[in-house]
Amino acid sequence: MTTFTTGTDTLTRDALAVLQPGFTGTTAPDWIRRRLTEGLASVALFGRNVADPGQVAALTAQLRAERDDLLVAIDEESGDVTRLEVRTGSSFPGSHALGAVDDPALTRQVARELGRRLAECGVNLNWAPSADVNANADNPVIGVRSFGHDTALVARHTAAYVEGLQSTGVAACTKHFPGHGDTSVDSHHALPQIDLDATTLHQRELQPFRAAIEAGTRAVMTAHIRVPVLDPDRPATLSRRILTDLLRGELGYDGLIVTDGMEMGAVADTYGLEHGVVLAIAAGADAICVGGGLSDEGTVQRLQDALVAAVRSGELPEERLADAAARVRSLAEWTTGMRRSPASVGDPAPEIGLAAARRAVTVTRAAGPAPVTGPVYVATFSPAPNIAVGAETPWGVGTELERLLPGTVTGHFTGPDAGAEALRAAGGRRVVAVVRDEHRHAWMGAAVDTLLAVGPDTAVVEMGVPQATPRGALHIATHGAARVCGVAAAEALLAG
C-alpha cells in the first residue's frame, strides 16, 4: 500500500496521478521515486531506459519498491517500432506483416508472446496496437505500423492483438483514435487534418476501434489530428466532442483514455504544453503521455501546477480531474491483480516471431528462379526515419547476408545520386537493393532504376509498404523492417 507524504492533498495527488512521464537513465532517478510516494501512478519507458531485459526487470522492481500498484508503460509495437530491442531490431514482425499473413490466430499468438516478455520485465501497459487503417499511401507516420488498408482486416487483427496481449496481464492501448491512417502529415511535427465525411469515418476509421472495445481493450490512445466532420476547431486529443461524446458516449468505451505524446508539435506548438494538458483532461482524456522528449522533474511540476491552477480557477472541473485519476488507478489495480494471479498463457513461444516473419514474405521472380548464390553488394537506401521509429534501430538484410554469404559487402545511401554511388561502390558485384517505402521517395525509385539499367540481375528487397510494381530479377516484400523480417528476407534471397 502506498503511503503519501504529509501535506500532499487530494487535488495535487490527482494532478500528479494523471501524468505519465518519462525519465532518463537505466535506473530510477531519485525524483521519480519521490514522486511515486507523492501520488504519481504511472511512468513511461523509452529506448533510452533499456539496456537488456534483466536491466528493465530490475528497473521496474526498483520503481515498484516505492509503489506496487504502478503502471509502467512502453511503446512496444514490435516491427519497426521497438523499445525493448531498440539497438538490435525486434524479434517480432510488425502489424503490417501480420496483416499480410492474415491469420488472426497467429496475431493473437505473437501478441501473447510479446506480452509474456513485457510482463517478465515488469511492464504492464503497452501503447499498442495501432488500429489505424492505412488509407493514404503517402502516410509518413503510420505505414507498416498498420495492419493494412482494408478495414475488416484491420479490425479483426486489432481485436486478436488486444486479446493476445491482455491474456498476459499487460493492458493494450489501442491507438490512434479516431484514426490516423488517412493523413500525409506527421503529427510529431505539425497538426494533420483529415477531411472525410461522416459515413467514411464510421465505416472505415472507427470500425477497428469498435472491434478493440468489444475485445476489451483496457486503454485507448488519442490522435493529434483535426477531423472537421467531428470537431472543426480542436484536434481529437483536446476535443470533448470526440473523446467524451463519441468515444465514451456513442462507442460506449469505459476504459482509460491516454493522450499521444503531448510535447509533439501538433499540440505543443499550437496550444502550448501546459494549456494543452488542461484542455486534454477537460475533453475527457485520463492519462497524459509526456516524456518522449521532455523527461525532467521540472516538466512534471509545471504540468501538475497547471492542472491544479486550472481547477482552482474553474477552467477544469475538479470532478473531471478526480475521475481521470480514478481511471488511472483502476487500470493499475487491474494489472496488479493480473500480475499476482496471472492467467494461463501457455508455454513460451520464442520462435513465433521469426515464423510469422517468414510467412509474411512475398517473392516475385522476373523469369524463373534467381537465387543469390554468392557474395553480393547490399545497397541499402535509407529514408529519414520518423520519430516513432527512431534512428537508432538497425534494419535491412546486410548483417544477415554477411553472415550467410562471407565476402558480402554493404553500403548505405540517400539522396538524388544514391543509385550512381551504389553502382560505383558495388564494383561489378551483383547488387541487392534494399528499400523502405520506395513509393514515397522519388530519389529511391530513381536509384533502383539506375541499378536495374546496369544490372538486370539486381534483387530488390522492399521493407516498407509494398506499392510499386515488383521489379528486379528477384523482388522480396517483407511488409516491415523488424530484425526477423531481415532474416526472413535473406533466407528468401538464397532460396530464390
Cite the active site residues. 188, 260
What is the C-alpha to C-alpha distance for residues 484 and 449, in angstroms, rounded to an integer? 27
Cell (9 digits) for 30? 531519485
Residue type (1 letter), 385: P
Distance CA 30, CA 62 (A): 11
For residues 381 and 435, the answer to whether their CB atoms sit within 8 Å is yes
Cβ–Cβ under 8 Å, residues 72 and 41: no
Helices 297-313/273-283 angle, 10° precision:
50
Which residues 6+ apart lie within 8 Å of 182 measured at CB? 133, 135, 136, 139, 194, 196, 205
- Cβ proximity of 127 and 175 under 8 Å: yes
Look at residue 410 and give its three-state secondary structure: strand
β-strand pairing of 377-381 with 42-45: unpaired
Beta strands of 366-408 (E only): which ranges?
377-381
Q: How far apart are CA 208 and CA 153, in angstroms?
A: 9
| Cα distance between residue 264 and residue 346, in whole Å | 39
Yes or no: say if 199 and 144 are a contact pair by the CB < 8 Å rule: no
DSSP H or E segment with residue 289: strand 288-290
Cα 422 to Cα 278, 330, 332, distances in angstroms = 51, 55, 52
- The four Cα atoms 441, 447, 450, 456 give a dihedral, to 10 degrees, of -90
Residue 343: alpha-carbon gap to chain centroid:
25
Note whether 223 and 259 are within 8 A (CB).
no
CA distance 475 to 364: 5
Let me know: does 135 contact 204? Beta carbons within 8 Å.
yes
Cα-based distances in Å from 8 to 209, 333, 492: 38, 21, 60
CA distance 318 to 329: 17
Cell numbers at 298, concatenated: 521540472
